[in-house]
Structure 1
Amino acid sequence: MFTSCQDEVIEITEPNETETLVAESTLTNLISATSIMDGSADNIIDNASCLSVQLPITVIVKGLEITVDSREDFKVIEAIFKEFDDDDDRLDIVFPITIILANHDEVVIENRDALEELIEECRGENEEDDDIECIDFQYPISFSVYNRDFQVINVVTIESDRELYKFIKRVTGAEKLLASLNFPVTMELADGTEIVVNNNIELQRVIEEAKDVCDEDDDNDYGDDDFTKERLDEYLKNCPWVVYEFKRFNQDNTEQYKEYALNFKEDNVVVMRARGGDLLTGTWSTRVTDRGALLKLEFDNIVDFTLEWVVYDIEDGKIKLFEVDGNRIIMKRNCDVVIDITKERIANYLQECLWRITRLNIEGVDNEKEYIGTPFKFLSDNVVKLRVNGEDLQGTYEIGVRNAGFILQITLDGRPDLKLEWLINFLEPGLIKLVNANNQMILTRFCPDGDEDIDYIGDVLTNGEWEVALYEDQDANETENYDGYVVGFNENGMLFAEGNGNDFRGSWLAYRNEGLFLGLNFRTQDEPFSELKHRWKIVEITPNRIELKDLNSNGEIERILVLEKRV
């Protein structure tokens, strides 16, 4: 067996002449075509899909000198080009530069004339070429290399398209290397779908079926706004779209329309859900002109959206619309957004799982830290329970309808910051946003049932008592402040710390949120345990050790907390 750096076991192909790659076979040519360098991503710079510029380079766009050191900078150039509709989109390259050819060779180019010579050797926009861009190998992969007696003499690991292309050249060139691909291998389609293949026959079929099913974008239109009408229509109808940015006549109306959702339906009907749940029905249509793809929206009761918009840019999951005179909409696709809100649907979402308060702002004061480790449970009989210190505080909730939309009213004794009539202004299966005058609350769904990681964390935490082995705040080691204390976790969600004549009680909750987290809430204002009230990211957990970190918005470590099992 051969083990790759991904700890994935790959079976070495037994010497078998029928599985060996043949120099002129269809499969060998297909493998080679998937490994050709695709140069279409940087056409905004070189206007050639068969070559690519090696980054970083410096370009001058409309008098601005821009250092391009990542693909994200292509969007900066595009934004400058598209700022005005009737000007010259000129880009000058600061030479010398290095060009990467389709065969992955690198060539240093000293001037524009030399670059133009290479560009002329490429095929034109959207002409058929040899490279396959709609499917890729997921690396690493490996090949068994044989001698003439079909005995394995080497195993070659491939980490990139460049290495694969060079290896296949050894198979098809003068060396006539005898080799076979070691299965299984994983292929990735342009939309991110992964397909596992187990032999040469499957591999050839998968590549042939996928090689022409995506837009290779081998043109100089820079973005994906070269959709046909049919593709644009399907793209719009695929899922609801949520407004992320909105400008009308150069006035920023984002605050007014943010989180409005549009659902493009058949028969040219579009349904818009405003904040609060109001539904507005209009019409939509598309056409493709010399200006590009156009999207026409018409609503009787909301004129700001009523316009024929130019499809400015389309990225995966995002669409940008604009029109002259300072009109602009940016929308993001969200397949979970609920357009047609009903009382029953709200109730069903609330009753599905537990809910965490992830934001609670009352009259400008953030109160959500008080609810770390204290999940809600909404029951079918209008009973709501809030787990605090391992015990359930019971109250009631009601879903109602007002002129402004649907509301959620929560009544819990001793919790005046929750006892408000909250307007539901955003709803999806895992997230509910509530507002009331100057107040805001966000509930995030938490479903622990069946989550093996959460079950494991709970088993480890509740099996014994713990000590603070390390607490670092920035560069200060404050571990000694916790000497003499024992920390424990009860199965009912109660958290405690005992020692030095003190007995603190609180709440804990392990949950998943783009990673695993542990919420600690010692309900005290006294140090040192007041400092540990936080939603900690779980970095490592074993039966005897738990390492937690507090990361800032830039991903930098602010604090470290390590708990070790008490012997």
Structure 2
Amino acid sequence: MLNPKSHTMKTNMKTLLLIPFFALLLFSSCQDEVTEITPTEESEALTAESELTGLMFSTSIMDGSADNIIDNASCTSVKLPITVKVNGVEIIIDSREDFKVIEAIFNQFEDDDDKLEIIFPITIILSDHEEIVLNNREELEALIEDCRGENEEDDDIECIDFQYPISFSVFNTDFQIIDVITIENDRELYKFLKRVKNAEVIASLNFPITLEYADGTTVEVNNNEELARTIKEAKDVCDEDDDNDYGDDDFTKERLDEYLMSCPWLVYEFKRDNQDNTEQYIEYVLNFKEDNVVVMHARGGDLLTGTWSTRVTDRGALIKLEFDNLVDFTLEWFVYDLEPGKIKLYQSGGNRIILKKNCDIVTDITKERIENFLQECLWRIARLNIEGVDNEKEYIGTPFKFYEDNVVKLRVNGELLQGTYEIGVRNAGYILQITLDGRPELKLEWLITFLENDLIKLANANNQMILMRHCPDDDEDIDYIADVLTNGEWEVALYEDQNANETENYNGYVVGFNEDGMLFAEGNGNDFRGSWLAYRNNGLYLGLNFRTQDEPFSELKHRWKIKEITPNRIELKDYNSNGEIERILVLEKR
């Protein structure tokens, strides 16, 4: 009998991408990421004159504003690398980061004439993503004449972008699917939508899709109506930065002040007098308040109060910070660069601060607030470093549960180990004291150094621990994964390590997942027990935890990224730091 929940879950999945068998025949190349092909009504097809087609088309237009400091045109972009002379200094520009070098040279002196000379020939990318070669300045000037001026309204939508890949179902005149087109970038989307606008194809988007706002946040949409509304609402909510300097450092004082006060700011990098003090100040938090008071939250919970002010000059915006007891920050800083969610400050003499915006961080910490956070959900141990040795792998699949009566439970192999916890106050700040028999590495007094909605960082002496919130009851995808895993027994259909196929090591074994978090593998005279946990962390993961002596299953002890899941098959992958696949594990229903 089919499990009704499993049968209907395909239409509810928001992150897992399930692929029907016929779609495999339609893809022109192998894809790591696959897309669910949803049945589409004729009314959902894109048409040449529809509002949605126009909105998507405008979003796919090439935005040429990033390099205006070079070409003075927002409708064109210079293809890198190129060579330029900036105030007589010849430099090679081979990345967007080098645009900052140009501006730094321009800003070096207030009373000089800033000149940029391009060494021709160069290749220019037009708004329709076509490329042409220009041989001299006169040809570039002719192109610039066809562009609109600084900060004038144009056709491209820059405040929201698609996260790729996305796919379209292509239909014949009887509205039957004849192809599936996968789009990897704006250029491909522009070309495909041009065919739609020319009535060359009938197509519809395969949902869900994700869009990214200019500030780095994302939104998921599930149908044409949501998509059109989202693009329209976002199209004018950011500064498109269509002026001819580099970066969005041309805020008015009012906009800069509002931006600073919008959320807390984390110190990400800090240099003073050419000394790198990042380790000392990383994750310090700056709160800019309306009355020109700035509050610095140190990692240990200490609060330092100072003042802040801003001004805008011909050379750009400046932020002045003054603290009685924090000399390193007390300086008037130039706003070197403003990016979505990030501010870079500098001053001559080797002074530099990078701040990252974090609206989730909790600055008004109280004992009651910490207790409420802990009791809201489960917490998994994402990192546990004791005296320089990483121990977090021992806690894969074993989350904490904190209760109101100061009881804490740790789920291990499907069983709950019970202990106690207490939130205390010390001179250094708030502490979390955990007592669990048989777990000496946890039985420590942990100083809470960082607190946000989904993450708690703790430290003492030479030890660090990071807890990540896990709320499975609020996540349909996690619920679906658990339902699939616990509904039957599984076999290892493939285990590939560094391109070596080791599947035969698991022949004769049956793998099972119990609802209480116990993981078992039985066969060949062995009966292994472990823990499992499905969770979300910038994607969906499955943690598998067998003991070291439980060979060959100890090889599978890892936090695996879930790449595909159906009621009868689950594909897991392990990636290295370069994003390359190191291992593949496939489980299939018996």
CA contact (8 A) 1:538 1:548 kept: yes
Counterpart check, 1:357 vs 2:381: yes
Residue 116 of structure 1 is matched in structure 2 by: 141
Distance 2:54 2:540 in 1: 44
Counterpart check, 1:99 vs 2:124: yes
CA contact (8 A) 1:364 1:439 kept: yes
Q: TM-score, normalised by structure 1?
A: 0.82
Query: 1:469-488 CA distances to partner (integer Å, 9 max, x unpaired)?
Result: 22221122222222222222
2:393 to 363, 369, 394: 369
Counterpart check, 1:385 vs 2:409: yes
Residue 506 of structure 1 is matched in structure 2 by: 530
Distance 2:508 2:56 in 1: 64
Counterpart check, 1:254 vs 2:278: yes
CA contact (8 A) 1:264 1:271 kept: yes
CA contact (8 A) 1:37 1:131 kept: no
Residue 407 of structure 1 is matched in structure 2 by: 431
Seq. identity, %: 72
CA contact (8 A) 2:337 2:344 kept: yes
Shift of the 115–303 alpha-carbon distance from structure 1 to 2, 3 Å rule, reads same
1:533 to 557, 563, 578: 557
Aligned residue type for 1:95: F
Distance 1:306 1:331 in 2: 15
Residue 100 of structure 2 is matched in structure 1 by: 78
Farther off after superposition, 242-251 or 273-282: 273-282
In the TM superposition, residue 184 of structure 1 has moved relative to its aligned partner by 13
Shift of the 320–479 alpha-carbon distance from structure 1 to 2, 3 Å rule, reads same
Shift of the 7–79 alpha-carbon distance from structure 1 to 2, 3 Å rule, reads farther
In the TM superposition, residue 461 of structure 1 has moved relative to its aligned partner by 1.8
Counterpart check, 1:301 vs 2:325: yes
2:460 to 436, 442, 447: 436
Matching of residues 411-560 of structure 1 within 5 Å: 411-560=435-584
Q: How many residues align?
A: 533
Aligned residue type for 1:51: T
Distance 1:108 1:352 in 2: 60
Distance 1:29 1:549 in 2: 38
Query: 1:292-342 CA distances to partner (integer Å, 9 max, x unpaired)?
Result: 111111222212111111111100000011111111110000011111111
Aligned residue type for 2:454: G
Aligned residue type for 1:429: N
Distance 2:224 2:508 in 1: 58
Counterpart check, 1:319 vs 2:346: no
Shift of the 351–223 alpha-carbon distance from structure 1 to 2, 3 Å rule, reads same
Shift of the 210–488 alpha-carbon distance from structure 1 to 2, 3 Å rule, reads closer
Distance 1:494 1:211 in 2: 49
Residue 174 of structure 1 is matched in structure 2 by: none
Query: 1:195-224 CA distances to partner (integer Å, 9 max, x unpaired)?
Result: 99989xx989996x8766542322121110
Residue 41 of structure 1 is matched in structure 2 by: 66
Other structure's SS at 1:449 match: helix
Distance 1:229 1:333 in 2: 18
CA contact (8 A) 2:422 2:432 kept: yes
In the TM superposition, residue 249 of structure 1 has moved relative to its aligned partner by 1.1
Distance 1:388 1:47 in 2: 62
Query: 1:49-101 CA distances to partner (integer Å, 9 max, x unpaired)?
Result: 24333x24422456665363xxxx22223135426842676554443233345
Aligned residue type for 1:467: E
Farther off after superposition, 285-294 or 537-546: 537-546
Shift of the 92–11 alpha-carbon distance from structure 1 to 2, 3 Å rule, reads farther
Shift of the 13–136 alpha-carbon distance from structure 1 to 2, 3 Å rule, reads farther
In the TM superposition, residue 429 of structure 1 has moved relative to its aligned partner by 1.2
Farther off after superposition, 278-287 or 456-465: 456-465
In the TM superposition, residue 167 of structure 1 has moved relative to its aligned partner by 8.0
In the TM superposition, residue 463 of structure 1 has moved relative to its aligned partner by 2.2
Counterpart check, 1:290 vs 2:317: no
Distance 1:223 1:513 in 2: 31
Distance 1:527 1:64 in 2: 61
In the TM superposition, residue 352 of structure 1 has moved relative to its aligned partner by 0.9
Distance 1:419 1:433 in 2: 16
Distance 2:321 2:279 in 1: 20
Aligned residue type for 1:352: E
Distance 2:587 2:170 in 1: 46
CA contact (8 A) 1:37 1:162 kept: no
Distance 1:439 1:495 in 2: 29
Shift of the 79–394 alpha-carbon distance from structure 1 to 2, 3 Å rule, reads farther
Aligned residue type for 2:92: I
CA contact (8 A) 1:20 1:179 kept: no
In the TM superposition, residue 137 of structure 1 has moved relative to its aligned partner by 9.1
Aligned residue type for 2:461: A
Shift of the 559–8 alpha-carbon distance from structure 1 to 2, 3 Å rule, reads closer
Shift of the 28–543 alpha-carbon distance from structure 1 to 2, 3 Å rule, reads closer
Distance 2:214 2:445 in 1: 46
Contiguous gaps of at least 5 residues in structure 1 = 145-156, 171-176
Distance 1:515 1:36 in 2: 29
Residue 66 of structure 1 is matched in structure 2 by: 92
CA contact (8 A) 2:38 2:206 kept: no
CA contact (8 A) 1:517 1:536 kept: yes
Distance 2:55 2:480 in 1: 45
Shift of the 471–129 alpha-carbon distance from structure 1 to 2, 3 Å rule, reads closer
CA contact (8 A) 2:317 2:334 kept: yes
Distance 1:197 1:518 in 2: 29
In the TM superposition, residue 393 of structure 1 has moved relative to its aligned partner by 0.5
Shift of the 165–228 alpha-carbon distance from structure 1 to 2, 3 Å rule, reads farther
Other structure's SS at 2:92 match: strand
Shift of the 131–196 alpha-carbon distance from structure 1 to 2, 3 Å rule, reads farther
Farther off after superposition, 186-195 or 78-87: 186-195
Other structure's SS at 1:266 match: coil
In the TM superposition, residue 422 of structure 1 has moved relative to its aligned partner by 0.8
Distance 2:553 2:169 in 1: 53
Aligned residue type for 2:465: M
CA contact (8 A) 1:11 1:183 kept: no
Q: TM-score, normalised by structure 2?
A: 0.79
CA contact (8 A) 1:184 1:198 kept: no
CA contact (8 A) 1:11 1:182 kept: no
Shift of the 527–257 alpha-carbon distance from structure 1 to 2, 3 Å rule, reads same
In the TM superposition, residue 10 of structure 1 has moved relative to its aligned partner by 6.4
Residue 275 of structure 1 is matched in structure 2 by: 299
Aligned residue type for 2:337: D
Other structure's SS at 2:346 match: strand
Residue 13 of structure 2 is matched in structure 1 by: none
In the TM superposition, residue 535 of structure 1 has moved relative to its aligned partner by 0.9
Shift of the 110–166 alpha-carbon distance from structure 1 to 2, 3 Å rule, reads farther
Residue 174 of structure 2 is matched in structure 1 by: none
Cα RMSD after superposing both structures = 4.1
In the TM superposition, residue 395 of structure 1 has moved relative to its aligned partner by 0.4
Distance 1:28 1:410 in 2: 57
Distance 2:432 2:305 in 1: 25
